[in-house]
Amino acid sequence: MAKFAATDFDISIDGTDFSDSLAAVTLDISRESLDTTSFGKSARTFIAGLESSTVTFSFHQDFAADGVDETIFGALGTLVPVIIKPQSGSVSATNPTYTFSVLVTQSVPFSSNVGDLATMDVSYPVSGDVVRAVAV
């Protein structure tokens, strides 16, 4: 895979494929930085701390049974599994999966101006590690 347009992201949330209901996704995998600077140093030094990641979803809102609203509202306060890969094809070295759990901390069922496409933007903390895999 080379440079590509992000049109085929494959996104599963709590076992349901929500790819075609999502306009954007951001997975930010971060490690805390612990300051180890001591006297006598001329520049700050750091070591890596705990992983602290977040994921942001921009949904097209849908109130159908098992749709966006019902799934997210029903998962409030719980951990749900998320799997994201760049393309809908098989997992491979160029189509890796990122697997993790998120704590569903919010639902925003209504967030639109009159006449706009109904959307729902939410951001969740990742609970535990993010696992990157290149094979099933």
Partner 1 sequence: MSISTIRDGLAANLATITGLRTSPDLPDNPSPPIAVVALNSVTYDQAFQQGLVIYSFTITVIVGRVSERTAQTKLNAYASTGVGGIKHAIQSDKTLGGTAFDVRLQEMTSLGAITLGEQQYLAAEFSAVVYSD
CB of 117 to partner 1, least distance (A): 7
64: how many CB neighbours lie within 10 A of its CB? 9
Query: Given the complex with partner 1, which of 79 and 83 has the nearer CB atom?
Result: 83
CB of 8 to partner 1, least distance (A): 6
Close Cβ partners of 14 (under 8 Å, ≥ 6 residues apart):
71, 75, 80, 81, 82
Look up tokens 């969740």; give the residue. Answer: 124
Query: Given the complex with partner 1, which of 64 and 135 has the nearer CB atom?
Result: 64
Query: Which chain residues interact with partner 1 by CB under 8 A?
Result: 5-11, 19-23, 25, 60, 88, 115, 117
CB of 57 to partner 1, least distance (A): 11
Query: Given the complex with partner 1, which of 25 and 103 has the nearer CB atom?
Result: 25
Burial of 60 (0-12, 13-18, 19+ CB in 10 A): middle
